[in-house]
Structure 1
Amino acid sequence: MPFVSSAFLADVPPRPQAASGAFLAALAIAQMGAFLAFMPLLTILAPLKAAAIDPGGKAWILAQVGFWGALVAGGANILAGALSDGTHSRFGRRRPWLIVGAVGTAASCLVIMRAHTAFGLVGGVLLFQLCLNLMFGPLVALLADQVPPAQRGRAAGFIGLAPPAGAMTGALLVGVALPQEGVRYAVVAGLLLAAMVPVLFLARETPTGPRIFRLARPHRLGTRRPFRLTRDFAVAWLSRLLIQAGITIVSLFTLFNIQDRGAPPGGLAPEALLGLLVIGSSLVQIAASLAGGFLSDHLRRRKAFVLAAGLLVAAAATLLAFSADWRLMAGAFAIFGAGYGIFTAVDAALITEVLPSDRDAGRDLGVSNLANTLPQMFAPVLGAALLQTAAGYAWLYLAAGLAAASGGLLILAIRRAR
């Protein structure tokens, strides 16, 4: 484990220099690799595994996967962010964790592939979430480390390309182009590792110690400053939690919805139809992410864009609740992509502007990431319960819409950001 010391406080530059276009592109590619691994697992691979293991109990297996996986993800993200804040190594603060996390995530894909029981699937996803967040926490912290505030909206717009680009690539490969299970997992693992290479070389990380790895001394961890919760950070956190809850419900259960509707049009397999819907949604999401990041910088406004994102996700979920036609479902996914794209671009920039402490950015961004992971805990459980009601998917999607709209409206209560 990298050596951790409170001495890092003197090493963190208070105002990062302007980031190069190459670094922003590398950061976006690395984020895309993370989402390329995560999104197909969440929306296609884990639901398919659950259905193969127990067709009658697939929703509850997915609920267990989501709940325990998110629990591990939240803890690992905070831990990795906090430890990387104070890491002293010849490779810098963040880089060692990026390497270890990426290699572990790729290996865990193969563990999930070999799972044949609910216990094995849950165990594989726990390992995946642990390793992914050991990588993802420090990766997110690079935005606060190396991008000045004036560039963060634009940078977040590029980073906001990661979810749709990762989802689109994953849907194309996993849902449409690669029918063989083993090839699907191997390709996802390989692309994740390849996507991490540019940021490892382009990040401006200077050596912070002579050693590569060394166990932390317990008494040194106690010298870290305690987390200080501020009002605006709490509001931004809760807003993100609610909008992400809506996004997670839509993402998790749409494959089951397609399966339970009957034969998809054109003789497509359910995962292939979902792949096509995700590809179309992702194209809209990419355009919305770029436009949202650029306009929020130009207008120097963040809150209005997050509000619009929440309302768009809510509108899409409401359409899905009452859509009896495949074409209406496609339209709902396009609206969903617009809301998701604006949200991923602007929310990432907004959260960096209300952090309790710039010097503890990795730790504080890890805390903020709980708002991404907690919905993965309770949304599958809520969804599985709602599917037992007579209304089924209608109640499920209406709950998603209510959460997203509430999160969008809540963002207006922030004072420090505009």
Structure 2
Amino acid sequence: MQTSRVRNLLPINIYAFSLSFHSSALLTIVVPAALLQLDPARHTQDLSRLAAISAIFAMILPPIIGSWSDHVRLRGGARRSFVLAGGVINTIGLVGMYDTHSLPLYTAFLFLSLLGQGGTQSGYQALWSDVVSEEDRGASAGVQGAATLLGNIAGLASAGILGGHQVVLVMAAVMMCGMLLTVWLVRESTGPKPAAASPRPRLQIQNRRNFAIVFWSQAYVAFGMTLLMTFVLYFFRDVLHVQNATSGTASVAILALAGAVISSILMGRVSDGGKRRTLVAASGLPMAIAAIGFAVLQRADLLWLFALLFGLGYGTFLSTGWALTVDTLPDPQNVARDLGVWNVASTFPTVLAPICGGWVLSAYVGSPATGYRVLFILSGLFLAAGGAVILRMKSTVKSSIWFVPIRLLAAAVVYLYLRTAYTVRVEGRLPLRRPGTLVVSNHLHDLDGMVIPAWLTLQGPWRHPVRYAASPRLFEPGFMAMRFPLLQRLLYRLNMGAFFRAIGTLPIENQPLKRPLASFGYAVQKAYGNLPLADVFQPETLQRVGAKTTDRLSSLWSQRLAKAAQRDASLLDLKEPCRTWFLHQQRQWLEEQLQALVAAVRSGDTLYIAPEGRYSLDGRVGRFRLACDLLSEASPCTYLALLSYDPLAKRKTPIYLHFIASRPGIPLALQVRAARPITVGHVLAHWLLTSDAASFTESDAIQAVESALARLPQGASLAVPNAQARHKLVMQSLRYMTRLGVLRRQGADYTLGAVRVHEMFPQVEDILAHQRNALLDILEALDALQSLEPEPAPAPLQVQP
């Protein structure tokens, strides 16, 4: 990890050291040691009850305080205010514990300290979530984990050296210093929070089931940790007969935590690569092995080995598990409240574990070694369960392994078809090992959705599909019929939605208010059944498609109505209340579709989108939809898939596809516009429409193309870099355009013809203007990039609109 990056992550993670310094030795050494002095005859029972009551107290507090901090607005920031107030209360409680010799009064000050700890920790966790960016979440969690572990080491070492009584004052000083540094160094936004009804927060809501699984994972690990740590001091004294049990407990704990510091930083960084779920799941195994080995062998000379093994798992769980928790928070508007709920997973087990541990040990009063053996085996089982339960996290964007050969076969068939029917040139590729990746492309033709997914799929990895966003029409009956006119009669009722989902397609609405009439009918039929057409559509709409009054929705895919029902319709064709219902449902559908896309990139998949929604009819890149910004924020990395077609070159139309990594800090739309491959057809079309010459020869065209390409701005991407290949392509283009009627030929001279259409782009009125506009758009975007990063560059090509 870069030093500058670590330095930027330190301020928000300083307080983690103070909080763990406080908690590490409090109920492990400080309170047990105090009880030996205050009530030596009943210290075990006192510790069980006191730990359980303290846990209940700490469990209830964080959700309440967290919910309060989510909605209150205070000068200087609500989160920092709670950090400050809670830190002061905690310090007062610790000072009171130091100067008390009565068990009831000691208990009261202990609860005051825990009250402050709960308040300050609620504010701090929400502050961390607010100020740490998503791309730094794993690395920052690693730094926080290291700070937490170092705090544990320092707290335990201080308790071991100073004793359970003197260390309380040190804890108070560390708490106050960490609190003041956090309030001073960390800045939070003090502006108003976005309203809960705004679209963006709702689109970022994570799967609540995953949050529940993370909750239970934390609960199992906390239960196992509490069983292990609550009674370990007494294990050293009663079973291993260590003369200084306090020092022995601290030494073993410090050894374990020292190894955990390194694993925390390393695994936190690794987890930013999309492996948090796997790392958390694996972290339970070394902790479980250590706890069970500790129980079975009960040998002092092996404690160091088990301690290091335990630290390896604990450091990974601490850092990566925290980042995974923040990833799965259900509601961005109530971060502190949800983190308070998550804290219940840490505190509630500390209510049950001491009671359970006390019951186990009391059942083996005559054989303490057996009692502790049972206790630690139980601890190991819960630690293992804490990792294993993470494997149940649901990822709605994954698919069965049985569809791997189907996806590869589909991609191979598409690949062979494109290679046969077109001239495909692909440059660049995505890394084989990559985190969740967003691939953004421009949109020119239906072939875009075949070329890019096929090449991405065949490039690998193959276990899970390359997701790509497509129109919901793919998931409705009749889509295939419109793509294969010769088979229309057989395909009108065929719905390929399940197949498209299996090979990686996810729906995203690109026609919110205008779509085929059959599409409106399909939505209504799924919700309300096979209603009469007269109850759904306006009378004039039914007359337009030739429907009878007795027809029902299913008739829209009959031989008689199917073709007419595939024509575009609008909301005005719907009757009330269907129209109002559809408007409401459309918003909900769109949000669910966007959530699925965000979940795809968050889960580590590769997602391809064409953010324009519709392919360009004038050659220029259109406006990017809101989904692109949302997905870009959610994705750890973004690549561009840049497409250019040269329909004027030859009958096997050349398709140029370039994969490049996006540049941070520059709008994606601008990058897509500027980085598209410039084809021979782009430059040739521009020259043909702007040249003053009445006629020209092949050599004139070649010279014009080469001269224009030589004057391109720095950073322009050429579809055909080789000059000799370009000369051949210019001659092919002139002959092909002559056959199309775009050019006329008289001997060696060419002149413009009257034809401007091309069968590959039937909706484009002027194919020459389409190609020229594409070039102009690229050049304008390159100029805009140069204005963002001014550099000396060759004189740009002079163009005329």
**Would you call these one fold, judging by a TM-score over 0.5?**
yes
Distance 1:97 1:179, change over 3 A: same
Distance 1:59 1:163, change over 3 A: farther
* 1:6 corresponding residue in structure 2: none
User: For residues 192 and 363 of structure 1, what CA distance do their matches in structure 2 show?
Assistant: 23
Contact 2:146 2:265 in 1 (8 A): yes
Question: What is the number of residues matched between the two proteins?
Answer: 378
Contact 1:65 1:121 in 2 (8 A): no
* C-alpha displacement of 1:322: 1.7
Letter in 1 for 2:171: V
* 1:413 corresponding residue in structure 2: 392
Q: 2:123 aligns with which of 106, 125, 138?
A: 138
Tell me which protein shows more strand as a share of its residues. 2
Structure with more relative contact order (C-alpha pairs < 8 Å, separation 6 or more): 1
* 1:202 corresponding residue in structure 2: 185
Q: 2:170 aligns with which of 166, 183, 187?
A: 187
Residue 331 of structure 2 aligns to a residue in which SS? coil
Letter in 1 for 2:178: A
State the Cα deviation string for residues 286-332 of structure 1 (Å, max 9, x = none): 0111111011113x111111112111211111012123321222222
User: For residues 383 and 196 of structure 1, what CA distance do their matches in structure 2 show?
Assistant: 34
Q: 2:55 aligns with which of 57, 62, 70?
A: 70
Task: Work out whether 1:297 is the aligned partner of 2:282.
Answer: no
Instruction: Map 1:169-188 to 2 at 5 A.
Output: 169-176=154-161, 178-179=162-163, 181=165, 183-188=166-171
* 1:239 corresponding residue in structure 2: 217
* C-alpha displacement of 1:53: 2.6
Q: 2:336 aligns with which of 362, 366, 371?
A: 362
Distance 1:180 1:324, change over 3 A: closer
Task: Work out whether 1:277 is the aligned partner of 2:252.
Answer: yes
Instruction: Map 1:42-53 to 2 at 5 A.
Output: 42-53=27-38
**Identical counterparts, % of pairs:** 27
Residue 187 of structure 2 aligns to a residue in which SS? coil
* 1:329 corresponding residue in structure 2: 303
User: For residues 166 and 355 of structure 1, what CA distance do their matches in structure 2 show?
Assistant: 26
* 1:307 corresponding residue in structure 2: 281
* 1:33 corresponding residue in structure 2: 18
User: For residues 322 and 124 of structure 1, what CA distance do their matches in structure 2 show?
Assistant: 39
User: For residues 121 and 330 of structure 1, what CA distance do their matches in structure 2 show?
Assistant: 35
Contact 2:206 2:328 in 1 (8 A): no
* 2:79 corresponding residue in structure 1: 94
Contact 1:47 1:62 in 2 (8 A): yes
Q: 2:143 aligns with which of 148, 151, 158?
A: 158
Contact 1:23 1:203 in 2 (8 A): no
* 1:123 corresponding residue in structure 2: 108
User: For residues 149 and 159 of structure 2, what CA distance do their matches in structure 1 show?
Assistant: 15
User: For residues 121 and 229 of structure 2, what CA distance do their matches in structure 1 show?
Assistant: 20
State the Cα deviation string for residues 127-176 of structure 1 (Å, max 9, x = none): 22111010001101122211122111111101111332111101221112
Distance 1:133 1:359, change over 3 A: same
Query: Once structures 1 and 2 are overlaid, which stretch shifts more, 103-112 or 47-56?
Result: 47-56
Q: CA RMSD in A?
A: 2.2
Letter in 2 for 1:231: R
State the Cα deviation string for residues 218-272 of structure 1 (Å, max 9, x = none): xxxxxxx9x99921111110111001111122121111111112542xxx52111
* 1:16 corresponding residue in structure 2: none
Normalising by structure 1, report the TM-score: 0.85
* 2:323 corresponding residue in structure 1: 349
User: For residues 70 and 180 of structure 2, what CA distance do their matches in structure 1 show?
Assistant: 21
- Computing the radius of gyration over CA atoms, which structure comes out larger, 1 or 2? 2
Contact 1:23 1:199 in 2 (8 A): no
Letter in 1 for 2:63: I
Query: Once structures 1 and 2 are overlaid, which stretch shifts more, 198-207 or 85-94?
Result: 198-207
Residue 88 of structure 1 aligns to a residue in which SS? coil
User: For residues 28 and 148 of structure 1, what CA distance do their matches in structure 2 show?
Assistant: 14
Distance 1:124 1:64, change over 3 A: farther
Q: 1:250 aligns with which of 204, 222, 228?
A: 228
Distance 1:353 1:274, change over 3 A: same
User: What runs of 5+ residues in structure 2 fail to find an aligned partner?
Assistant: 193-201, 365-369, 396-602, 605-801
* C-alpha displacement of 1:362: 0.9
User: For residues 293 and 248 of structure 2, what CA distance do their matches in structure 1 show?
Assistant: 18
User: For residues 79 and 164 of structure 2, what CA distance do their matches in structure 1 show?
Assistant: 36
User: For residues 190 and 385 of structure 2, what CA distance do their matches in structure 1 show?
Assistant: 44
* C-alpha displacement of 1:411: 0.5
Normalising by structure 2, report the TM-score: 0.45
Letter in 2 for 1:415: K
Query: Once structures 1 and 2 are overlaid, which stretch shifts more, 19-28 or 191-200?
Result: 19-28
Tell me which protein shows more helix as a share of its residues. 1
Distance 1:310 1:377, change over 3 A: same
Letter in 1 for 2:332: D
Letter in 1 for 2:371: G
Letter in 2 for 1:408: G
State the Cα deviation string for residues 71-117 of structure 1 (Å, max 9, x = none): 11112111221111112111112011111111111111122234445
User: For residues 50 and 150 of structure 2, what CA distance do their matches in structure 1 show?
Assistant: 24
* C-alpha displacement of 1:21: 4.5
* 1:8 corresponding residue in structure 2: none
User: For residues 179 and 153 of structure 1, what CA distance do their matches in structure 2 show?
Assistant: 36
Task: Work out whether 1:320 is the aligned partner of 2:294.
Answer: yes
User: For residues 13 and 25 of structure 2, what CA distance do their matches in structure 1 show?
Assistant: 18
